[in-house]
Amino acid sequence: MVYDPRVFLLNKGIEVSKIKLYWCRGSGRKNPNQQNFGDYLSAEVVEFASGKKIVWAPVKSADMIAIGSVLGRESKAKFLCFPRKLHIWGTGTGVAEERFSGRHHYHAVRGQLCADRIHDTRVPPVLGDPGLLSPAIVKKPSRKSARIGIIPHIHDRTSPVIQDLRRRLSGSRVIDVFSPVKQVLAEIASCDFILSTSLHGLIVADSYGVPNKWMVMERNPHWEFKFQDYYSSFGIAGTEPVTPKQILKNASWTIEGSIGNYHRPGLEAMQENLLHVFPKSL
């Protein structure tokens, strides 16, 4: 049995401190079977980093925002005359045109492109998405159980082309982003290679050192910004995604050819930095 200090404190009648965290709940707010793992991963990682209980809270009463393209909520907090400063840890934005004030506590943001859009920060935030800490939540398996993991974004889950890919690529499996967070992490970690239209499918794959390829259903510069922002945290620019049609039409497509010179420079240092700057005062 694993010792949990929170259980001990509760048994002693001592209230366990909580962190009020905002994350995007989407349709999972009403339907527990539609909780996007990339969003709900935020609570898991913040709980690990803090050792405290995590509760969801709206931006106007939250202590922190972490995983997700939700930095745009910062401007909402300012508009609502938010009385306190938010702690921002690894958050990103999905909109290139957004700009952010330096009034909050910026411990980390997802990438350099996002950091460049924050005005008047006294200390530059470190770079990195907290999803890179996933191995602390689910350990890396000793053996692989799938050759290729295909991870469709929530809007791509029902696309027929996803099943076409599964049939075309031997040894592949489709990983459902609506599955429980820890299950998704375990499934990603058990693959030799990942194809994903989900940003956090790629981030989690990177965290486990699983080679991966960014996939899009069709090109959309607006949608692609958050991916480029993530890659900018590694100093990588101009990453080109692949489409399912390109794979299906290319009879000679191979994992090896797609991996190319896969490398995430500075990954371990980024993971250490994320933990180092986590606001322990919360």
Average the pLDDT over 89-109 and give the result: 92
Instruction: Report all structural domains of the chain as residue ranges with CATH numbers, in order of start.
Output: 18-133+271-277 (no CATH), 136-265 (3.40.50)
Q: Give residue-wise pLDDT tens across range 124-162.
A: 999 999 999 999 999 999 999 999 999 999 999 999 999
Region of 77 (left: φ > 0; alpha: ψ -120 to 50; beta: rest) is alpha
Tell me the one-letter amino acid at 218.
Answer: E
Q: What is the C-alpha separation between 222 and 21, in angstroms, rounded?
A: 27
Which are the contacts of 252, defined by CB distance < 8 A and separation ≥ 6? none
Average the pLDDT over 62-70 and give the result: 95
Q: Give residue-wise pLDDT tens across range 187-232.
A: 999 999 999 999 999 999 999 999 999 999 998 888 899 999 999 9
pLDDT band for 84, please (50, 70, 90 cuts). Answer: confident
Record the pTM.
Answer: 0.92
Q: Give residue-wise pLDDT tens across range 233-265.
A: 999 999 999 999 999 999 999 999 988 889 999
The sheet carrying 18-22 orders its strands as 53-56, 18-22, 64-65, 87-91, 105-109, 126-127
**Residue labelled with tokens 């991996």:** 259
The tally of CA atoms less than 13 A away on the side-chain side of residue 245 is 4
Point out the least confidently predicted range of 68-72, 79-83, 180-184, 227-231: 79-83
Point out the least confidently predicted range of 118-122, 163-167, 168-172, 270-274: 118-122
pLDDT at 1: 38
- Runs of H (alpha helix) within 137-254: 160-168, 181-189, 199-207, 221-232, 244-249
pLDDT at 82: 59
Tell me which of 39 and 78 has the higher pLDDT: 39
pLDDT at 137: 98
pLDDT at 78: 58
Would you give the DSSP letter of residue 109?
Answer: E
Average the pLDDT over 41-50 and give the result: 98
**Residue labelled with tokens 């967070």:** 181
70-79, long-range: CB within 8 Å, 24+ apart, which pairs?
70/22, 70/23, 70/24, 71/98, 71/100, 71/109, 71/114, 72/98, 73/22, 74/100, 74/101, 74/104, 75/100, 75/101, 77/104, 78/103
Q: What are phi and psi of 43, to 5 degrees?
A: -65, -40
pLDDT band for 8, please (50, 70, 90 cuts). Answer: very low
Would you give the DSSP letter of residue 12?
Answer: T
Percent of the chain residues past pLDDT 90, beyond the cut: 77
Average the pLDDT over 43-69 and give the result: 96
In the chain, % helix, strand, coil (3-state, to 5) comes to: 40, 15, 45
Strands 212-214 and 191-196: parallel
pLDDT band for 171, please (50, 70, 90 cuts). Answer: very high
Q: What is the C-alpha separation between 160 and 149, in angstroms, rounded?
A: 16
| Residue 10, pLDDT above cutoff 60 | no
Indicate the average pLDDT of the chain: 91
Closest CA to 172 of 195, 151, 149, 192: 149
Average the pLDDT over 169-191 and give the result: 98
Point out the least confidently predicted range of 101-105, 107-111, 165-169, 184-188: 101-105
pLDDT at 16: 63
| Residue 74, pLDDT above cutoff 80 | no
pLDDT at 12: 52
